[in-house]
Structure 1
Amino acid sequence: MPTRDHRLDRAKGILIFAVVLGHLLARTGPWDDEVLSAPMYLIYSFHMPAFVFLAGITAKSTRLPERVLTFLVLLFTVLPLMWGWLWLFELDADYSFLTPFWYSWFLLSMAYWIITVPFIERFPRTLLVTSVVVGLFGGILPLLDTELSASRSMIFWPFFVVGKLYGKQILNWAGGLRIWQKLFFTAAALGTIGYFYLDEVDHHWLYGSLNFAHFGVSIPEGVGLRLIVDIGALLMTLMLLMWVGEKDNLIAKIGRHSLAIYVIHGFVVRGFQPLLDDSLDVYSAPIVLSICLLLALLTTYVLSWSPFERSLRWYSSTVTNLLLKPFAPLRTKAGGHSEKTSS
């Protein structure tokens, strides 16, 4: 039996904490503050590309309908529940079903990317080149933006494809580097993010949710900036994989439960929003950062409890099975035909 690679769990654990912290900090209006913008540039430079890369490593083409539907079920559950949650706290429900709200874009994009897995396995080189071209040049298209998670799905797709094709090799390579090599790549990664911070690069580039027209740049400028941001994300992802470690501990447990944390944490963050909105008017930036760090640690730890993960998986699998039940005879016939053909 293959043993579980705890490096993946630990990396996911660190990344999901970064997601929670980034979303809490985002409620404080951090981008115009010198202190709070530093961790925001650090987090948003790589946390979602790295997550997508890790998702590619574990992606499989088996049971494809179940895998795709699981994310769609979660998406269409989160959207109305979040609307009701925002109404309860008298917050602006600034989303529509065509524009997945806030963090829920990832659930729809995962469904897209999983659909491409069989094609990645069948045509690896073609899909690798295609994903890179789409990721770099997709911002040219004026009609594809936040609607249906189109922009992010295109921009982050190369990380998924690379993770699927070469993720395990990259993980082993990064973990096997010597200390001086790790320090070199770490300096390169932090230097790149330091450039983003010091030059005050528009942080919306890190979101990956807008096309070139929104930034008012030419196509060569847009492609060049997209490439620089992607290189920064790649270097930061490598830095994470270099230092992540292999021990099965609390961080690894948090990583194993990262999907539940991701889905539920948005409700917690929005619940804290009334307290965080004007926090910089009351407290200094270091204190606000400390409060967000404490809330992120507490939120991540509590949501990593097994009942949350089990409940979410039970719900998503139950609804998915119900949706697929009418098609069971067709799938059984297809399976039987395949067996006869292979024999």
Structure 2
Amino acid sequence: MTDTTDAAPALGRDTADAAPARGTAPSAPGAPAPRQRDAWLDNVRFVLLAFVVMDHFMWPLLSGSRTMHVLFYWIHLFHMPAFVMVTGFFSRSLVVNDSRARGLVTRVLVPYLIFQTLYQLGDPLLRHGQMVRWAPLWPAWLMWFLAAMIVWRLMTPYLLRIRWILPISILVSLGTGAIAGVSHLMSMDRVLSFLPFFVLGLVIRREHLEVLRRLPARVAAVAVLVAAWPVSAVAADKLGVHWMFWDRSYASMHTTTVKGIAIRSILMVLAFATSAAVLALTPPAHSWMSALGRGSLYGYLLHGFIAWGFKWTAVHAWFNSPPRYALFLAGCVALTAALCSPWTQRVLRPVIEPRTDWLLRRRDAEVAVRA
């Protein structure tokens, strides 16, 4: 792993890619050059985002295909747990690096406010011609992840100071399902339910991730993902989809606390195993995916608008046979690549990552020096 990626958001450009802040002095002569980016982590971002896009486009196809229904559950075993874990890994140095901490505002908070507005107000306005009250603290659809990221990163300095934080976070997640009415305010239901995956990202070490790149780990990863398919088939028959979303109480899913804790515990073990498997099978070398992974924020924020059109129109009805399902999945990957492309980033950067220098004050130390 490399230092330049430690504080980068799981979605969006790395701090290393961003232009230096105004007034920042150039590197001193003889200073060590920044380390190379880790292409593997960029590839992981793209792979996970492609699964997210498949998930959001798959909804209209679920009732017409048993295979697509099981695939939906299979993807949900790992795609968001892995994304949350990678986000935690990238968040660790925020507590010691002020310039990267500022990225919470420029590359998470500001895009959240812009696209929360578009997603919350756009759906009722476009479909029904009616306006609704803007509610920035109640995330609309896929904006839950950015809202949760804000909360997790604000929690990071305190999480890192707590002993045994990983087992504690697991207990928090299991206990959250036992509490009816955990608020969706700033995605607190999922913030707490997915907390173990974020904490694992915070505490895991580079040498642990390096193990996943070795051949035995990759062989085991194939076995894990293959074995997860029949498990997903059982889950598709026995569990409602909200078990896979980690956003409801056990009581709301019509089960007892003891049974609910048991089910979530099993799902958590499966999520840890399948997330590690996907990371192990992601190519480690620099490839066409690497540059696209750096633009994952763009793909995440933009694909929802296209998914709206796919759902609202009759286009999805054409995908009604195995060959067409394969074409559908390939199309999701191609769309992900297009939305994450450097060209898309150049064109839409003013909208997705607008300049916010005017919003951020200088650090107190800088002000004191100038005084």
The answer to whether the 8 Å contact 2:43/2:284 transfers is yes
Query: CA offsets per residue over residues 223-263 of structure 1, 9 Å max, x none?
Result: 11111111111111111122212221111222111111111
In the alignment, is residue 66 of structure 1 matched against residue 102 of structure 2?
A: yes
Distance 1:278 1:302, change over 3 A: closer
The answer to whether the 8 Å contact 1:25/1:289 transfers is no
- The worse-fitting range, judged by mean Cα deviation, of 232-241 and 162-171 is 162-171
TM-score w.r.t. structure 1 length? Answer: 0.84
Shift of residue 112, structure 1, vs aligned partner: 0.7
The answer to whether the 8 Å contact 1:268/1:299 transfers is no
Q: Following the alignment from structure 1 to structure 2, what is the Cα–Cα distance between the partners of residues 167 and 30?
A: 39
Q: Following the alignment from structure 1 to structure 2, what is the Cα–Cα distance between the partners of residues 335 and 119?
A: 27
Distance 1:140 1:334, change over 3 A: farther
Match of residue 68 from structure 2? 36
The answer to whether the 8 Å contact 1:52/1:160 transfers is yes
Match of residue 50 from structure 1? 82
In the alignment, is residue 205 of structure 1 matched against residue 271 of structure 2?
A: no
In the alignment, is residue 82 of structure 1 matched against residue 142 of structure 2?
A: no
Shift of residue 316, structure 1, vs aligned partner: 5.7
Q: Following the alignment from structure 1 to structure 2, what is the Cα–Cα distance between the partners of residues 132 and 312?
A: 39
Equivalent position amino acid for 2:147 in 1: L
Task: Identify the structure with bigger relative contact order (alpha carbons < 8 Å, sequence gap 6+).
Answer: 1
The answer to whether the 8 Å contact 1:30/1:37 transfers is yes
Which of 136, 143, 148 aligns to 1:104? It is 143
Which of 35, 38, 42 aligns to 1:9? It is 42
Distance 1:91 1:32, change over 3 A: farther
Match of residue 229 from structure 1? 267
Distance 1:174 1:65, change over 3 A: closer
Match of residue 302 from structure 1? 338
Shift of residue 49, structure 1, vs aligned partner: 0.7
Query: CA offsets per residue over residues 38-69 of structure 1, 9 Å max, x none?
Result: 22112111101101111111112233752332
Distance 1:277 1:203, change over 3 A: farther
Unaligned 5+ segments in structure 1 are 338-343
Match of residue 304 from structure 2? 266
Match of residue 341 from structure 1? none
Distance 1:74 1:317, change over 3 A: closer
> 3-state SS of the aligned residue for 1:211?
coil
> 3-state SS of the aligned residue for 2:308?
helix
Which of 291, 294, 297 aligns to 1:253? It is 291
Identical-pair percentage:
24
Match of residue 188 from structure 1? 224
The answer to whether the 8 Å contact 2:42/2:289 transfers is yes
Unaligned 5+ segments in structure 2 are 1-33
Distance 1:80 1:277, change over 3 A: farther
In the alignment, is residue 24 of structure 1 matched against residue 60 of structure 2?
A: no
TM-score w.r.t. structure 2 length? Answer: 0.78
Q: Which has the higher helix share?
A: 1
Q: Following the alignment from structure 2 to structure 1, what is the Cα–Cα distance between the partners of residues 280 and 327?
A: 29
Query: What is the aligned-residue RMSD (CA, Å)?
Result: 2.8
In the alignment, is residue 284 of structure 1 matched against residue 320 of structure 2?
A: yes
> 3-state SS of the aligned residue for 2:307?
helix
Equivalent position amino acid for 1:40 in 2: F
The answer to whether the 8 Å contact 2:71/2:232 transfers is no
Q: Following the alignment from structure 1 to structure 2, what is the Cα–Cα distance between the partners of residues 317 and 297?
A: 24
The answer to whether the 8 Å contact 2:52/2:79 transfers is yes
In the alignment, is residue 141 of structure 1 matched against residue 179 of structure 2?
A: yes
The answer to whether the 8 Å contact 2:43/2:293 transfers is yes
